[in-house]
Amino acid sequence: MVRLGTSSRGTAGAVLAIASVLALTSCAATPAPVDAADRGAAVSTEAPTPVESATPESDHDESIPHDHDVEVDPNADADVTELATRAVTLFCRPSLAYATWIAELYPVLSQSAAVAYETVDPANVPCTSVTDAARIRDMDGAYTARVLVPTDAGDYSVYVHRPLDTAPWAVEQITPLASE
């Protein structure tokens, strides 16, 4: 066996040095984040333990409304039923020209709803009039409501939303109740 100027002690030292570098490198690596779906994939026979919040309650982001922080808007019921009735009244006009129909409907719609309703041909809308008072189906009192509006073609469900409790309400969706 030919030696190239290294001793067995030198070779062992080099191997030990390389092993040390590899060990240090692997220890310094940060673990990949684990999302909730991956955590749920592991099967455990232990009872779940309660998770405590990492931040104290006083440190939550004040710019984001929380359900427990929002006061119920005392005018919300009247505001959303009025808006839903107006929206369905504007919607249920199949004899109108498309340009007039959509232009008059735009002010009550959210931006996403405006884009969606641009594809509707008013001639295909089966209702022609609102026949009775609107009634709230469900509501959170501050951000969302579903209102039922009776028409000559049956009840329409109107989903009304606002992103902040100080923002104006806008219609997200107008659908015949039977199609929900």
Q: Tell me whether residue 52 is in a domain.
A: no
Sign (positive/negative) of CA torsion 37, 42, 47, 49? negative
Structural domains counted in the chain: 1
User: Tens digit of pLDDT per residue, the chain (180 long)?
Assistant: 444 444 444 444 444 444 443 344 344 443 444 444 443 444 444 444 444 444 444 455 556 555 555 677 778 899 999 999 999 999 999 999 999 999 999 999 999 999 999 999 999 999 999 999 999 999 988 899 999 999 999 999 999 999 988 899 999 999 998 755
Placement of tokens 């509501």 in the chain:
139
CA distances from 175 to 94, 99, 102, 151 (A): 15, 21, 16, 12
Host domain of residue 109? 70-179
Residue 57 forms part of a structural domain: no
Q: What is the pLDDT of residues 127-164, one digit of tens each?
A: 999 999 999 999 988 899 999 999 999 999 999 999 98
Residue 161 lies in a domain: yes
pTM of the full predicted structure?
0.61
7 domain residue, yes or no: no
Give burial (CB, 10 Å; 0-12/13-18/19+) of 70.
middle
In one-letter notation, the amino acid at residue 117 is: Y
Quote the CA–CA distance of 90 and 81 in Å, as a whole number. 14
